[in-house]
A = this chain, B = another copy of it.
């Protein structure tokens, strides 16, 4: 599997409005825009440093995967996303090595990328997202 780099870090927030000002006004990181990722149950503000993005995640809809995290830990670092060359190859390889994925089949996340999540149990307590930017012709 080929890891191309850190695509983004994601930060769960209880207050998108308030927290966004740190990344935009204080640090001056380029704001790419807001996106509702309905199937992931989040609304996200994306900032691009040009070497990795920062994504703020707030709850969206009735069942958001970040609700439990926010209740338990409050706002803070939620996951890291690594870009891979070929997500289907990566999933196959990870499964063959006994790595637990949250879902075996890539779904569509923010910015239209194909994504999967590796379970923190298999990644030293870290929720790791893998994404592939380019569509495959397969």
Contacts and interface: CB of A to CB of B under 8 A. Distances in A.
Of A11, A27, A80, A124, the most chain B CB neighbours within 10 A belong to A124
A28 B15 CA distance: 36
Contacts of A5: 49-52
Contact of A6 (B3, B51, B74, B122): B51
A13 interface: yes
Interface string A82-109: 1100000000001001010000000000
Interface residues of A, number: 43
B18 A124 contact: yes
Interface of A: 1-6, 9, 11, 13, 15, 18-19, 22, 26-29, 49-52, 54, 56, 73-80, 82-83, 94, 97, 99, 120, 122-127
